[in-house]
Every structure is written in structure tokens, then in C-alpha cells.
Structure 1
């Protein structure tokens, strides 16, 4: 019998939500996406030791010093990891801009250009690289500039229709609406232990965005992310892309029941119409959405904390302690 994972691959591009090279090789997704949290977990294993050593040597060479900035080493590590991941996937890899730059448009643009240049220095086809940016107003406007320069952007930490509309208007390549984190917020607010996937607010958010994009002809790719259970994935079968953890990929691969396609462009003609927003309108509508405001801020804090921890670990390597 055909597994639900195989069935899903016929309707949706499956992306691996992991930075673990062994998991990527095992599940053979088309694309892979990473963030500081995933990279921090990955470098704790011996499998990435050689990449840390290479990143340190590369940063030392670039800075012409034995004690380069841990931020620079982190950028080199992210690019080396991305380059290695691209050897195992036929599609693209996303590399994230430091979350601490989420409210600085110009610094985000500069860091994205820097990461892209590092990939070029390693001989990587940058058409296979997406730069991952938090979907703040500043991040979205940075993506607007970068897309015009030919740098593809993945707008992450997306929790609201407001953010999705602004991303479409900016012409970003891809958005990553976070399904599970939306569910987490509503469960915490209501005290419920669970919500049926058909009524899951995270699932409904992605369905609304998908229908809006398809009905208005926006080319921006919708990639559902941050899943808490298999049912959420099944109710988004047919979405452009879904980035899925190894644990849930395993569950889908063991399930041989029939998987029904839930989303198709042909069924998206009921979506509402919304005008483009300026900064004032964006900030107001986002402020009015308590869930999106809370989760966006929380996500930035979490990614920033993991980035700081990653840099602290790398600082130990710089100082000669090779046990990050």
C-alpha cells in the first residue's frame, strides 16, 4: 500500500524541517529549511564537528585573525551547512538572517547580501538559496528590495493574514505560516487539551492565505510550517509546500490510509479582497491580532536566544574549547 507520505508528495512539495544531514538523506525531501534552533541542535552532534572546524578556519581566513567574531563564524557555519544540505536535496535550502535584525530593514538587507555572497564564494548556485527573514514590517520591506535584486526570500514567523497580504504585495518568493504555534496559543488561551484538525486555527489560517493567493494570482509560495500533529498536515494536503519534522515524516510513512487532497487552486475563488497596506495600516492590524503579535514577538525572542547560544558555543571553539 502507498503511504500517506508518498500520496502527499503527489500533491505537495515536501520540505524537511531539520538541519540534521542524516534525516535529510533518509527522507529525501525536495527542499530543506533551517533556523537557529535547528542549527543549534545539529551542531551538538559529532556529525557537524567538521563543519564547525571548517567555519572557524574560513572565518579566520576572512578576518585575518585567529579570533574572529562569533557572528562571522556563525554565518560561515550556516552557509557551509546549507551547501552540504544542497548536496542531498534537488531543490533549495533556506538560510536565516539573524533574528536580532528583525526590526532593521537596512541591516537585514546587508546581512542577506553577505550570506548570498558567502554562498557564491563556495561555488553554490544562489538560485538554489532562499534567505529566511522574520515577517515584521521591516523584514518584509527588506525582502521587497532583495527580491528585486534576484535574492529569493522566505518570510518566516508568519501568523496572520495581515503579514501574508504584505508579503504578497512585496513580491516575496515564499512564506512560512506557522500552524502549530498558532494552535499552541489558542490552546493556552482556552484551556482546551486539543482541537480537531478541521477546526484548528493554524490550519484555517493557512487555508485562508492559500485561497487568497490563488484567487488573486499571487505567485508567492505558501509553505505551511511548525506542525504539532499529523492531522494538521493532512488537512493542508495540496498546499504548495509543507515543511515537516522527521518525526511526522516517519508517522506519515507508516500510515497507508487514503489521503484526500484538501487544497487546490480551482477551489480558491471564494477568497476575500483586501487592498495593499501601508506601514501604519500593517502595524495597526497586526496589533489588533493578539495571537499574531504575541507569537511573532515570542518567535523572534526564541530565535535570537538560540542565535546567542550558538555564538556562545562557537566562542568556545574560537578560544580552543572544542566541546560546544
Structure 2
């Protein structure tokens, strides 16, 4: 009997949202996404200790300078997890640039190129990697350059608003990850209301983005992310990609509900949607006017930076040992 996950895979590419490649293998997704928080969680599992030790050894071999050792070890650790994930998914893995570089275009470009070089060292072609970058103005412009000049594919994350999505499409990025559940979290806290899946502000935001992209034939992939419940996933069936945590993948696997597409390119084409564009000034103003997007973007960058720092501390201890 077909499961809800089987039905979903007929209409949408399913991506595993975890750094635990053993969990990834169980659900046979096409791709996988990681971030510093997910990698930090995975490093706490003893079966992944060797990946940490290998990264530390690599950092020590690259430099005699303690700061440089730490930087190399952190980048290598992210790539080590990515390489293992690529052994169990047929498609691509997303590896995130340090969130502390979110407002530095040139540093983001340099870090992305270094990550790609580290993958290349172990025989992984750049076509199997998406570089994850926060959807700040600087991050979007870094992605524009990485895509156009270096052929490096990017996944723009921490995306909470329509202007961010439009700017990403205009920059020609490969994929965006609009966050569904975090938008819902903000509105529930702000209004005190509960929302059905069909009324979910995060779902409505991603539906709007998808319909706009398909209406105007943008090639950028829309990958819904950060889900709080299966109902959100059901309402986005038919979208390009969905990246889903192991817990919700298990819930879909355990259900035999037949999921039908709620979104399609044909339906998007028929909608009356005005064309818009954003230069830097308008982008910053529109983002500023959206309290939810401004707050959640800043919060997301802070939290990823905090977990990145924890990863650094873990590696620092091992380098000093």
C-alpha cells in the first residue's frame, strides 16, 4: 500500500532536513539539507566522532596557526558530513556558509569557493553541492556572483518574505528555502490565534512565492522548509521541493493518506499577479516594513551563528588537546 510519503514524492521532490545520514537513508529522499544546528546535533552522536577527528587532523595539517587550524577544521567538518550524506542521496547536499558572514558579500563568496574546493579534494563535483547562504541583500548578491561567475549553485535560506524571494529570482539563484513553520510561530505568538493548515501564514507565503515564480517563468527552485506539522506539507504538495525533518518524514511514512497537488505551474499561469522588482533601497525598506521577516531573519542568523560557535568550541578543545 502506498504511503503519504510515496504520494508526496509523485508530485514534489522530497529532501531530508538533517545532518544524520543514517536517518536520511531510511526515507530515500532525493537531496539533503544541513545547517550548523543540525551538524551540531549530529556531532553529539558517537558514531560520527570520526568525522570530527578527521576534521581536526585536517586543520592541524593545513596550518600551524591556531586560528587558521580552527577555521580549516570547521569547514572540513561541514564537508565531511556532506560527503557522507552524498553516499546515501542520489542528488545534492546543501552546506551552509558561516552565518557570521551574512552581511559580508566578499567573505561569503570566498567561503563558498573554499567549501567547493574542499569537496573537490575528495572527488565531489560542485554540481552535487548547494551552498546555503542567508537571504540578506549581501547574501543574495554573493549568490548572484557565485552562480554567474563560478558556476556554484546556491540555496538561499532564512527566507521569510516576498521581496527576499523576488530578489533571489532576479539574482538567478538555483534554489530558495522559504521557512514555513517559523513564520507560523511568529504569527501565533504575535496574534495569539491558532491557524488551520490552509490559513497558515507560512503556507500562504510560500504559495504566493511559488505562484509568482511559475507565472513569470523564473527557473529558481522553491523548496519549502521548516515545518511544524504534516498539514503544512499537505497544503504545499505539488511545489518543486520540500525539505522535511526525520520526525515528519516518519509521520508521512506511517500514513496511507493520498496526497494530491495543491499547487501547479498551470494554475499559477492563470493567476493575475503583478510583476515587481527590487533594487537595494526598495528591498531594505520592504524588509524593514515586514516585522515578522525582519525579526525571524535576524533571529535565524543569530541562532545559526551561536551553533556555529558551539561547533568551533568543540573543535577548539580537540585541537588544543
What TM-score bracket applies, with the shorter chain setting the length?
A: over 0.9
Q: Is the 8 A contact 1:68 1:318 kept in 2?
A: no
Shift of 1:64: 4.6
Cα gap change, 1:314/1:219 in structure 2, threshold over 3 Å: closer, same or farther? same
Provide the residue aligned with 2:100 in structure 1. 100
1:297 equivalenced with 2:314 (yes/no): no
Query: Helix, strand or coil: the match of 1:274?
Result: coil
Provide the residue aligned with 1:161 in structure 2. 162
User: Whole-Å Cα distance in 1 between the matches of residues 273 and 290 of structure 2?
Assistant: 18
1:282 equivalenced with 2:296 (yes/no): no
Query: Helix, strand or coil: the match of 2:258?
Result: coil
Shift of 1:271: 5.0
Shift of 1:71: 2.5
1:16 equivalenced with 2:16 (yes/no): yes
Shift of 1:239: 0.7
Shift of 1:195: 1.0
Compare 19-28 and 159-168 and name the one that shifted more. Answer: 19-28
Over aligned residue pairs, what C-alpha RMSD do you find? 1.1
Q: Is the 8 A contact 1:12 1:239 kept in 2?
A: yes
Provide the residue aligned with 1:190 in structure 2. 191
User: Whole-Å Cα distance in 2 between the matches of residues 172 and 159 of structure 1?
Assistant: 16
Cα gap change, 1:271/1:41 in structure 2, threshold over 3 Å: closer, same or farther? farther
Provide the residue aligned with 1:4 in structure 2. 4
User: Whole-Å Cα distance in 2 between the matches of residues 65 and 28 of structure 1?
Assistant: 41
Q: Is the 8 A contact 2:12 2:240 kept in 1?
A: yes
Provide the residue aligned with 1:139 in structure 2. 139
Q: Which digits, 9 at most, give the CA deviation of each residue in 1:258-298, with x for residues without a partner?
A: 21210110100215223321100000000011110010000
Q: Is the 8 A contact 2:140 2:171 kept in 1?
A: yes
Query: Helix, strand or coil: the match of 2:32?
Result: strand
* Structure 2 segments unaligned to the other structure (5+ residues): none
1:84 equivalenced with 2:84 (yes/no): yes
User: Whole-Å Cα distance in 1 between the matches of residues 71 and 272 of structure 2?
Assistant: 43
Cα gap change, 1:258/1:171 in structure 2, threshold over 3 Å: closer, same or farther? same
Provide the residue aligned with 1:172 in structure 2. 173
TM-score normalised over the length of structure 1? 0.96
User: Whole-Å Cα distance in 2 between the matches of residues 249 and 30 of structure 1?
Assistant: 13
TM-score normalised over the length of structure 2? 0.97
Cα gap change, 1:67/1:167 in structure 2, threshold over 3 Å: closer, same or farther? closer
Shift of 1:69: 3.2
Shift of 1:47: 1.7
User: Whole-Å Cα distance in 1 between the matches of residues 167 and 50 of structure 2?
Assistant: 40
Provide the residue aligned with 1:29 in structure 2. 29
Cα gap change, 1:271/1:159 in structure 2, threshold over 3 Å: closer, same or farther? farther
Query: Helix, strand or coil: the match of 1:268?
Result: helix
* Structure 1 segments unaligned to the other structure (5+ residues): none
Q: Is the 8 A contact 1:208 1:271 kept in 2?
A: no
Provide the residue aligned with 1:38 in structure 2. 38
Query: Helix, strand or coil: the match of 2:88?
Result: coil
Cα gap change, 1:80/1:100 in structure 2, threshold over 3 Å: closer, same or farther? same
Aligned residues: 319
Q: Which digits, 9 at most, give the CA deviation of each residue in 1:148-181, with x for residues without a partner?
A: 1200000000000000000000000000000000
Q: Is the 8 A contact 1:212 1:271 kept in 2?
A: no
Q: Is the 8 A contact 2:62 2:69 kept in 1?
A: no
